[in-house]
């Protein structure tokens, strides 16, 4: 059983079974929706995912996709595109209660990857922001 939810804890979910995939998506739509250069997605069978807390707010995008998020804190919690992936609901991997449980297996939409991501390993790292 996988469990997760939003930042404030209002929207919670659980899913039975194994995740079919963990993808890192670089598409512009994900970048703009999450305000981040990429998003990790755990693909789950739609009939095995249940929301157990507050019902998420839904936004229907122009691409035929539906994005769900917490109406209180704004955390994205689900993505569905029946045309592209019928029967699958993607949840952002970082919203899992154990976000390190499943390592990414593939990167997708790399044609839209930010150019500077190719040199990310060369950027200085700090264990905490206060060290910079």
What is the distance between the alpha carbons of residues 107 and 99, in angstroms, rounded to a whole number? 17
Domains of the chain: 2-131 (2.170.150.70)
Query: Mean pLDDT, 10 residues at a time, over the chain (132 residues)?
Result: 96 88 93 95 94 95 88 96 89 96 94 94 87 56
Is the Cβ–Cβ distance between 39 and 105 less than 8 Å?
no
Handedness of CA 111, 21, 49, 5 (dihedral sign): negative
pLDDT at 83: 85
What is the distance between the alpha carbons of residues 96 and 77, in angstroms, rounded to a whole number? 10
Q: Which of 76, 121, 71, 88 is nearest to 15 (CA)?
A: 88
Number of C-beta neighbours around residue 19 at 10 A: 20
Please indicate, yes or no, whether the overall pTM of this predicted structure exceeds 0.85. Answer: yes
């Amino acid at each position: 059983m996988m469990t997760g939810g939003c930042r404030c804890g209002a929207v919670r979910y659980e899913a039975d079974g194994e995740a079919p995939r963990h993808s890192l998506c670089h598409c512009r739509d994900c970048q703009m929706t999450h305000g981040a250069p990429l998003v990790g997605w755990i693909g789950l069978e739609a009939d095995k995912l249940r929301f157990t807390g507050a019902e998420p707010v839904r936004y229907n995008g122009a691409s035929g996709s539906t994005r769900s998020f917490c109406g209180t804190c704004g955390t994205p919690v689900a993505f569905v595109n029946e045309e592209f992936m019928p029967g699958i609901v993607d949840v952002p991997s970082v919203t899992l209660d154990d976000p390190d449980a499943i390592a990414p297996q593939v990167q997708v939409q790399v044609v839209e990857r930010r150019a500077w991501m190719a040199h990310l390993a060369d950027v200085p790292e700090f264990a905490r922001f206060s060290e910079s």
